[in-house]
Amino acid sequence: MMAQVDLTVEICGMSGDGTIAAGGILNEAMSRAGLFVLAFDSYPAEIRGFGRCVTHSRVGDREMRALSDRTHVLISLDDKESQSRIPFLAREAVVFFDSKPPSYVEEGASIAAHVEPDARLFGMPFSELAAAASGSTRGRNLTALGGFAAVFGIPSRTFHEVIEKKFKAKGEKVLDANLKSFDAGHRFALERLKVEQIPPIPPLVKGGREDLPLVKGGREDLPLEKAGMGEPVYPPLEKGGREDFLEEAEEKILISGNEAVVRGALDAGLALYFGYPITPATPIMESLAKALPDRGGRVVQMEDEIASIGAVLGSFFAGKRAMTATSGPGFALMTELITHGVMSETPAVIINAQRGGPATGLPSKTEQSDLHAAVFGGPGDSARIVIAPTDVRECYDFTLMSFQLAERYQTPVIVLTDFFLNNRVEKVEIPGASEARRANWNLYPEESAKGRYERYSITESGISPRAIPGAEGFLFSATGLEHTEKGRPDYSSDIHSKMTEKRHRKIRGALKDLPEPVEWSSGGTMDVGVIAWGSTFGSALEAVLSGQKEGMQVGALKITSLFPYHAEAIRAFMKRCKEILIPELNYEGQLANLIGHLHAKDVVRLNRTTGMPMSPTLIYERIKSLI
Partner 1 sequence: MAEEHFVVVGNGPAGHQAAVTLKEKAPDAYVSVISRSRGSCYRPHLLPDFMAGKIPETALYVCPTDAYKDKGVKLRTGQKVVGLNLRERSVALDHKEIVRFTGLIIAAGGKPRIPEPLWIFRDLMLTLKTLEDAKAWREKLSRVDSVLIMGGDLTSFAVTRSLLDLNKKVFFMLDREAFWPLRCDRVMLEEAAHRLSQRGVEVIVDRRVKSMARVSDLACEVQLNGDRVRAGLIGAFFGLVPDIRFLVGSGLRIDRGILVDEYLNAGYEGVFATGDCAQIYHPEIRDYWVSIGHDNAVSLGRTAALNLLGGSVMVEAAQESIFEVQGIRVNTSWWMDY
Which residue ranges make up the site for partner 1 (CB under 8 A)?
A: 97-101, 103-107, 109-110, 112-113, 116-121, 123, 197, 199, 215-218, 222, 226
* 36 vs 126 by CB, closer to partner 1: 126
Distance, C-alpha 308 to centroid of its chain: 24
Tell me how far, at minimum, the Cβ of 214 lies from partner 1, in Å: 10
Q: How many Å apart are CA 142 and CA 389, to the nearest integer?
A: 34
* 215 vs 567 by CB, closer to partner 1: 215
Tell me how far, at minimum, the Cβ of 118 lies from partner 1, in Å: 5
What Å distances lie between residue 88 and 21, 152, 316, CA to CA? 22, 20, 48
* 225 vs 429 by CB, closer to partner 1: 225
* 118 vs 164 by CB, closer to partner 1: 118
The SS3 call for residue 530 is: strand
Contact 532, 519 (CB under 8 A): no
Tell me the CA end-to-end span of the chain in Å, nearest whole number. Answer: 30
Tell me how far, at minimum, the Cβ of 595 lies from partner 1, in Å: 44
Tell me how far, at minimum, the Cβ of 119 lies from partner 1, in Å: 8
Contact 464, 454 (CB under 8 A): yes
Tell me how far, at minimum, the Cβ of 114 lies from partner 1, in Å: 9
* 51 vs 101 by CB, closer to partner 1: 101
Tell me how far, at minimum, the Cβ of 89 lies from partner 1, in Å: 13
Tell me how far, at minimum, the Cβ of 618 lies from partner 1, in Å: 23
Strands 526-532, 577-584: pairing kind: parallel
Q: Which of 349, 339, 325, 511 is nearest to 418 (CA)?
A: 325
Assign residue 13 a region (left: φ > 0; alpha: ψ between -120 and 50; beta: otherwise): beta
DSSP bridge pairs for 41:
55
31-60 residues labelled b (16+ CB within 10 A) or e (exposed): bbbbbbbbbbbbbeeeeeeeebbbbbbbbb
* 115 vs 268 by CB, closer to partner 1: 115
Q: How many Å apart are CA 109 and CA 80, to the nearest integer?
A: 6
* 120 vs 372 by CB, closer to partner 1: 120
Contact 318, 310 (CB under 8 A): no
* 62 vs 219 by CB, closer to partner 1: 219
Side chain identity, residue 215:
V
Tell me how far, at minimum, the Cβ of 109 lies from partner 1, in Å: 7
DSSP string, 178-234: HHHHHHHHHHHHHHHHHHTTPPP---SSTTTTTTSPPPTTS-----GGG---SSTTS
Burial class (CB in 10 A: 0-12, 13-18, 19+), 508: middle
Tell me how far, at minimum, the Cβ of 113 lies from partner 1, in Å: 7
DSSP bridge pairs for 557:
519, 531
* 112 vs 333 by CB, closer to partner 1: 112
